[in-house]
């Protein structure tokens, strides 16, 4: 086999390389390209599942998109809602436009002459009903049904449509089609008036900053935001970091088997399906539940402890989320503690350090990175999570436990009257994304991330 | 002619006839999907009726020499929370079911978005059985003068009173019998409801908070209280927010809580617990749907319904009148299907509306029939609940408006009702917040009084 060296370096090395084109070789053996290749799946994921949703959310948040407007576009339709708007903008034209009319005229007969509608039927129609005007489709169709031979329902509809001389409820896919129809009706409208008609009859979404104006004007939005701050801070501080740290340190000083048992115990809530987990809390809290039964002999009247007051609801919401959330911090902190060389503990014990001094001077300083990670991760996770609250209180009582992400869900994906408010929901979600990114950057700065990821001095 | 040549000719003729028959009767396979929301075990005839209709239509087609084969795919959702996003998202993605059974209030937004098509494009509304449907229900299934849906069922939301408790606080049998009329005339009002509820509690007949035990979750019932207080939901196609009337509604629930006859934490109560309690005399007075009769009698073991329970209209409050609210479900046609499929779907809906088939649903689920002649069917007429409730309630029934913006109005109304009920806001604050929220959300689309 003859191998032609492609570069002086290859020739000098005297290594026999497989016969690959220089391009392919550069691609595969150049470390920079390889790095990009390895990163590619991750980048595709980030673009698909993070950047694209964020960009779309940002775009949607500046629209009035809802079920009624649709997502993909709209049409021009003189429907009841548009007539109501036009009555304010162009009162006279609105009246003319909103008249449904069916006129038996020559144009309609000519059009039907080109179809399969029987000629005798059309002749009868022309002879008996030429020039008649009907206010609505039903009356027109009743007349058509009196014609000889009683046309089928499909033919009746075909005939009535040919004499429809109004644009009420018709759906036009373009402005030009709408304007032609207006001209066809003989309605005199200036180009500006036509534009106003188009604006008011558009059924699709439009760009607007209205969502943010509505959000900033709403007292409920402010309350929801304060609820969110309270919820994230409480669960994060009490359970996800402090209590998780307590569990990690407590189990660190236990024999392996015992610590394993306690850690598994704390993992149970995490691995229980949320619906069942919350249902168990509800059994505890309902007015005929465990807590009420337990307190009954002490003369405490049974009550729904979960929803009795806002304070009650918060206690449960924080407990429900905290007990689930503590396990993650516990695992991360416990494994970080394991990584601290045992020699440091021996040395400190030789120096006569107490447990507390070990915690303060050895453990905590070396847990800075895991604490940053848990704080940052759990803040973002709490900001975005609402599943346990939805299942437990659904934001109640009276919106006391409604947090931002739950409110966004309620807005964008729940509406009793079938009109989901995507635009406002997206605006709420965007606010959450901005808060999340800001907080993440803030944490990195507070915990001095740059120093944490700098090269260790020892390797220099 | 030999025997074999006869046989040959006979075989040739038979083959020819068979070929002609095969060519003539072209088999048509049509798949029709029907999705229904808010459909529990008692309500399955909402979708089963379409299957029955498909069987009838196939037979009808076969007589006419048309080999039509309809496959009906049914999908039911127990509640509304999952159903509405599922339908709208599927429809926006172009996968709308052929037939949707939903609340009439969805017609406006879904029609605007083009998710549904008018059923009047495919059926003759003047022919039986559609001509037999109550005209006011047909009106509720229309939007902008166009008939989009065909009513599937009707109901209304009466007030219920537990008779033994009423007797224990001093009502005679005659007083009880006369109560529905007094309510209707406006002599017995919402204020009396709270007073009687209090008496029941003071006598120890029911636990504190169980005197007035209303619906424990968001629902159309609460608009009934708004009408009781003199509020109007829509006028000339425009939504109306009557601030004073709404504040009176908020005040009524705040009063119910402050007098102790309703629990502050009543909303969010587990449904099963509520059902059990109202069916066993643990509550004094409550509002619920006519269809709740089925649950109380079939699932909760209330054997003597009429001996224990009295029903009336929702009493009047200050400035309003006694009323009830009907929230008919409708069959609507999903957009994006071929004309031929839509035609068949519409025919199935029309057949399913025939009184006999509709009565199966009405009686099984304790809803009210949609056809005027349904009362002539012995099976329906023999049902005491259906016949009594229909005549006592339906003439006084209002419905929520078909307006694309009504959902936003409702959200704001409910959020503030919940807040004043639980004491998070005073009724005045709640009404003010509702007003400012409605202004910034709906702008010109709502008239604020």
Do the chains contact at B268 and A397, CB–CB below 8 Å? yes
- Do B202 and B78 share a structural domain? no
pLDDT of residue A420: 86
**Of all helices (H) and strands (E), which one includes residue B14?**
helix B3-24
pLDDT of residue A187: 82
- Do B431 and B358 share a structural domain? no
Task: Give the whole-angstrom CA distance, residue B198 versus residue A60.
Answer: 51
Q: Which residue bears the tokens 């029934």? A: B397
The pLDDT of A194-210, averaged and rounded, is 90
B110: closest chain A residue by CA: A68
- Do B141 and B289 share a structural domain? no
Q: How many CA within 13 A on the CB side of residue A102?
A: 20
Do the chains contact at B145 and A100, CB–CB below 8 Å? yes
From the list A72, A282, A398, which residue is nearest B424 (CB)?
A398
**Percent of the residues in chain A that have a pLDDT greater than 90, as a whole number:** 32
Do the chains contact at B422 and A396, CB–CB below 8 Å? yes
Q: Would you place residue A28 in the very low, low, confident or very high pLDDT band (cuts 50, 70, 90)? A: low
pLDDT digits (tens, 9 = 90+) for A351-373: 888 888 888 888 888 888 888 88
Alpha helices in A64-105 (DSSP H): 80-89, 91-97
pLDDT of residue B270: 76
Q: Which residues contact residue B294 at a Cβ distance below 8 angstroms, ignoring those fewer than 6 apart?
A: B42, B364, B365, B366
On whether the CB atoms of residues B332 and B100 are closer than 8 A, the answer is yes
Distance from CA of B139 to the nearest CA of A (A): 13
Task: Give the whole-angstrom CA distance, residue B83 versus residue A224.
Answer: 27
* Count of domains for chain B: 2
Instruction: Look over chain A and give the mean of its residue pLDDT values, rounded to a whole number.
Output: 85
Asked if the C-beta of A190 comes within 8 angstroms of chain B's C-beta atoms, the answer is no
On whether the CB atoms of residues B338 and B320 are closer than 8 A, the answer is no
Interface of B with A in 55-114 (CB under 8 A): 80-81, 84-85, 87-88, 92, 102-103, 105-106, 108-114
- Do B249 and B349 share a structural domain? no
| Boundary residue ending a domain (B356, B377, B398) | B398
Beta strands in B245-358 (DSSP E): 285-287, 309-312, 324-325, 329-334
In 3D, which of A415, A431, A394 has the Cα closest to residue A66?
Answer: A415
For the cut 60, the answer to whether the pLDDT of residue A460 exceeds it is no
pLDDT of residue B351: 97
Burial tier of B223 (Cβ tally within 10 Å: 0-12, 13-18, 19+): buried
- Do B258 and B191 share a structural domain? yes
- Do B178 and B72 share a structural domain? no
Q: Is the model more confident about A2 or about A76?
A: A76
| Boundary residue ending a domain (B379, B398, B417) | B398
Flag whether B15 is in a domain. Answer: no
pLDDT of residue B246: 97
On whether the CB atoms of residues B276 and B149 are closer than 8 A, the answer is no
Q: Which of A48-52, A108-112, B74-78, B442-446 has the highest mean pLDDT?
A: B74-78
Q: Would you place residue A229 in the very low, low, confident or very high pLDDT band (cuts 50, 70, 90)? A: very high
**What does the domain layout of chain A look like in residue ranges?**
76-201, 213-459
On whether the CB atoms of residues A384 and A403 are closer than 8 A, the answer is no
For the cut 70, the answer to whether the pLDDT of residue A20 exceeds it is no
pLDDT beneath 50: ranges in chain B: 1-3, 16-24
In this structure, the dihedral spanned by the alpha carbons of residues A414, A418, A422 and A428, taken in order and rounded to 10 degrees, is: -30
pLDDT of residue B117: 94
Do the chains contact at B145 and A136, CB–CB below 8 Å? yes
pLDDT of residue B10: 55
On whether the CB atoms of residues B320 and B229 are closer than 8 A, the answer is yes
**Topology, domain A213-459:** MetI-like fold (1.10.3720)
- Do B248 and B308 share a structural domain? yes
For the cut 80, the answer to whether the pLDDT of residue A123 exceeds it is yes
pLDDT of residue B273: 82
**Of all helices (H) and strands (E), which one includes residue A171?**
strand A171-172
Residue to substitute from A304, A419, A428, interface B, most B β-carbons within 10 A: A419
Task: Map residue A134 onto helix, strand or coil.
Answer: strand
- Do B305 and B340 share a structural domain? no
Flag whether B19 is in a domain. Answer: no
Asked if the C-beta of B115 comes within 8 angstroms of chain A's C-beta atoms, the answer is yes
From the list B267, B441, B445, which residue is nearest A397 (CB)?
B267
Q: Supply the range of the domain harboring residue B83.
A: 25-155+327-398
Provide the CATH number for the domain around residue B32.
Answer: 3.40.190.10
pLDDT digits (tens, 9 = 90+) for A375-392: 989 999 999 889 999 999
Interface of B with A in 278-337 (CB under 8 A): none
Asked if the C-beta of B379 comes within 8 angstroms of chain A's C-beta atoms, the answer is no
Do the chains contact at A67 and B110, CB–CB below 8 Å? yes
| Boundary residue ending a domain (B359, B376, B398) | B398
- Do B308 and B169 share a structural domain? yes
Do the chains contact at A416 and B125, CB–CB below 8 Å? no
Do the chains contact at B419 and A398, CB–CB below 8 Å? yes
Omega prior to B296 cis, within 30 of 0: no
From the list A169, A203, A303, which residue is nearest B144 (CB)?
A169
Flag whether B8 is in a domain. Answer: no
- Do B106 and B82 share a structural domain? yes
Interface of A with B in 311-370 (CB under 8 A): none
Q: Would you place residue A308 in the very low, low, confident or very high pLDDT band (cuts 50, 70, 90)? A: confident
Do the chains contact at B125 and A138, CB–CB below 8 Å? yes
From the list B120, B237, B407, which residue is nearest A415 (CB)?
B407
**Percent of the residues in chain A that have a pLDDT greater than 70, as a whole number:** 92
From the list A68, A393, A414, which residue is nearest B112 (CB)?
A68
Q: Would you place residue A419 in the very low, low, confident or very high pLDDT band (cuts 50, 70, 90)? A: confident
Flag whether B3 is in a domain. Answer: no
Interface of A with B in 261-280 (CB under 8 A): none
B270: closest chain A residue by CA: A286
- Do B169 and B132 share a structural domain? no
**Which chain B residues are closer than 8 Å to A304 by Cβ?**
263, 265, 269
Interface confidence, given as ipTM, is 0.78
- Do B168 and B83 share a structural domain? no
Task: Give the whole-angstrom CA distance, residue B401 versus residue B327.
Answer: 10
Asked if the C-beta of A203 comes within 8 angstroms of chain B's C-beta atoms, the answer is yes
For the cut 50, the answer to whether the pLDDT of residue A26 exceeds it is yes
């Amino acid at each position: 086999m003859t191998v032609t060296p492609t570069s002086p370096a290859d020739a000098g090395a005297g290594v026999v390389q497989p016969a690959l084109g220089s391009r392919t070789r550069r691609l595969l053996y150049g470390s920079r390209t390889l790095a990009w290749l390895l990163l590619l799946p991750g980048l595709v994921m980030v673009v698909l599942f993070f950047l694209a949703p964020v960009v779309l959310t940002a775009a949607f948040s500046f629209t009035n998109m809802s079920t009624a407007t649709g997502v993909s576009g709209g049409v021009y339709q003189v429907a009841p809602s548009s007539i109501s708007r036009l009555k304010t903008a162009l009162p006279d034209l609105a009246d003319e436009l909103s008249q449904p009319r069916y006129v038996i005229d020559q144009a309609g007969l000519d059009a039907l002459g080109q179809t399969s509608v029987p000629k005798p039927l059309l002749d009868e129609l022309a002879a008996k009903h030429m020039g008649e005007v009907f206010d609505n489709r039903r009356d027109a169709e009743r007349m058509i049904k009196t014609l000889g031979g009683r046309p089928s329902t499909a033919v009746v509809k075909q005939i009535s449509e040919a004499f429809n001389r109004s644009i009420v409820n018709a759906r036009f896919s373009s402005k030009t089609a709408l304007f032609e129809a207006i001209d066809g009706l003989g309605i005199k409208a200036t180009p500006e008036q036509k534009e106003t008609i188009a604006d008011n009859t558009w059924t699709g979404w439009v760009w607007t900053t209205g969502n943010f104006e509505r959000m900033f004007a709403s007292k409920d939005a402010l309350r929801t935001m304060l609820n969110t701050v309270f919820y994230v801070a409480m669960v994060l501080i009490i359970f996800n970091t402090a209590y998780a740290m307590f569990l990690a340190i407590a189990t660190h000083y236990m024999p392996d088997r015992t610590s394993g048992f306690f850690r598994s115990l704390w993992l149970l809530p995490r691995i229980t399906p949320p619906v069942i987990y919350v249902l168990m809390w509800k059994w505890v809290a309902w007015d005929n539940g465990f807590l009420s039964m337990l307190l009954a002999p002490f003369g405490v009247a049974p009550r729904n402890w979960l929803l009795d007051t806002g304070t009650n609801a918060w206690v449960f919401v924080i407990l429900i989320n905290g007990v689930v959330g503590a396990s993650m911090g516990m695992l991360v902190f416990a494994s970080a503690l394991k990584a601290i060389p045992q020699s440091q503990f021996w040395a400190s014990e030789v120096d006569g350090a107490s447990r507390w001094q070990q915690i303060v001077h050895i453990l905590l300083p070396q847990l800075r990175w895991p604490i940053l990670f848990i704080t940052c991760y759990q803040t973002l996770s709490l900001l975005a999570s609402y599943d346990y609250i939805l299942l437990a209180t659904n934001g109640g009582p009276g919106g006391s436990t409604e947090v931002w992400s739950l409110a966004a869900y309620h807005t964008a994906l729940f509406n009793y009257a079938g009109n989901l408010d995507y635009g406002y929901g997206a605006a709420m979600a965007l606010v959450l994304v901005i808060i999340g990114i800001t907080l993440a950057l803030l944490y990195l700065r507070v915990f001095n991330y740059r120093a944490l990821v700098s090269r260790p001095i020892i390797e220099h | 002619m030999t025997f074999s040549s006869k046989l040959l000719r006979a075989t040739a003729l038979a083959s020819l006839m068979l070929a002609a028959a095969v060519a003539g009767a072209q088999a048509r396979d049509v798949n029709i999907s029907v999705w229904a929301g808010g459909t529990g075990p008692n309500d399955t005839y909402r979708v089963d009726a379409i299957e029955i209709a498909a069987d009838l239509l196939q037979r009808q087609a076969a007589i006419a020499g048309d080999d039509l084969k309809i496959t009906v795919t049914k999908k039911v959702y127990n509640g509304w929370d999952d159903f509405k996003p599922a339908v709208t998202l599927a429809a926006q993605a172009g996968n709308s079911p052929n037939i949707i059974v939903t609340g009439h209030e969805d017609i406006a937004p879904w029609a605007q978005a083009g998710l549904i098509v008018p059923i009047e494009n495919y059926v003759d509304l003047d022919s039986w059985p559609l001509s037999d449907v109550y005209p006011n229900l047909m009106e509720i299934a229309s939007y902008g003068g166009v008939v989009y849906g065909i009513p599937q069922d009707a109901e209304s939301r009466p007030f219920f009173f537990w008779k033994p408790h009423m007797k224990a606080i001093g009502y005679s049998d005659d007083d009880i019998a006369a109560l529905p009329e007094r309510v209707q005339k406006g002599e017995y009002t919402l204020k009396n409801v709270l007073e009687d509820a209090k008496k029941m509690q003071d006598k120890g007949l029911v636990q504190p908070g169980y005197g007035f035990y209303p619906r424990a979750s968001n629902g159309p019932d609460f608009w009934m209280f708004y009408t009781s207080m003199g509020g109007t939901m829509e006028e000339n196609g425009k939504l109306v927010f009557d601030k004073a009337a709404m504040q009176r509604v908020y005040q009524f629930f705040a009063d119910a809580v402050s007098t102790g006859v309703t629990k502050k934490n009543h909303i969010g109560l587990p449904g099963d617990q509520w059902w059990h309690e109202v069916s066993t005399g643990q509550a004094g007075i409550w509002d619920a749907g006519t269809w709740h009769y089925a649950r109380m009698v079939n699932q909760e073991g209330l054997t003597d319904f009429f001996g224990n329970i009295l029903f009336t209209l929702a009493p009047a409050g200050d400035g309003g009148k006694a009323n009830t609210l009907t929230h008919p479900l409708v069959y609507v046609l999903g957009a994006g299907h071929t004309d031929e499929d839509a035609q068949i779907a519409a025919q199935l809906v029309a057949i399913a509306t025939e009184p006999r088939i509709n009565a199966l649903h009405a009686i099984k689920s304790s809803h009210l029939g949609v056809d005027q002649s349904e009362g002539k069917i012995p099976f329906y007429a023999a049902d005491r609940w259906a016949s009594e409730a229909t005549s006592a309630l339906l003439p006084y029934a209002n419905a929520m408006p078909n307006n694309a913006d009504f959902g936003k109005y409702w959200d704001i109304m409910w959020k503030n009702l919940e807040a004043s009920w639980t004491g998070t806001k005073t009724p005045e604050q709640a009404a003010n917040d509702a007003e400012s929220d409605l202004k910034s959300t709906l702008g010109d689309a709502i008239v604020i009084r």
